[in-house]
Amino acid sequence: GAVVSQHPSRVICKSGTSVKIECRSLDFQATTMFWYRQFPKQSLMLMATSNEGSKATYEQGVEKDKFLINHASLTLSTLTVTSAHPEDSSFYICSSRPGATEAFFGQGTRLTVV
């Protein structure tokens, strides 16, 4: 299957700082990248959809100024959590669908804001 590489796998940051999460498609061109958030023992919640070269589409209730998404190339999408607070601590996962069929996920990033 297609490979989506996500970094970092784990990050701890101080409250008020910003954190950038990278997601790369290694063997295909990711025109679209999906960003999810997952709380413990819960399913994935779609936060936003990023399209290469255009603005991301955010789901209802997701603050676009807090979760900045950039998709500048066909192989890289980034999610920046700005002015992070403890309530932003969560597991963030990116995903892409090479052929609009099955989706492949990154390894996930566990963010802890202290």
- Minimum distance, C-beta of residue 31 to another protein, in the bound complex (Å): 10
Binding segment for another protein among 12-20, 63-71, 75-83, 98-106 (CB under 8 A)?
98-106
Strand ranges in 14-59 using DSSP code E only, listed in sequence order: 19-25, 32-38, 44-51, 57-58
- Within 49-78, which residues bind another protein (CB under 8 A)? 49
Binding test (CB under 8 A) with another protein, winner from 11, 62, 68, 91: 91
* β-strand pairing of 76-81 with 67-73: antiparallel
**Among residues 32, 70, 82, 112, which is the contact residue for another protein, using CB under 8 A?**
32
Per DSSP bridges, beta strands 57-58 and 44-51 are antiparallel
Q: Which one of residues 42, 53, 83, 85 is an interface residue with another protein (CB under 8 A)? A: 42
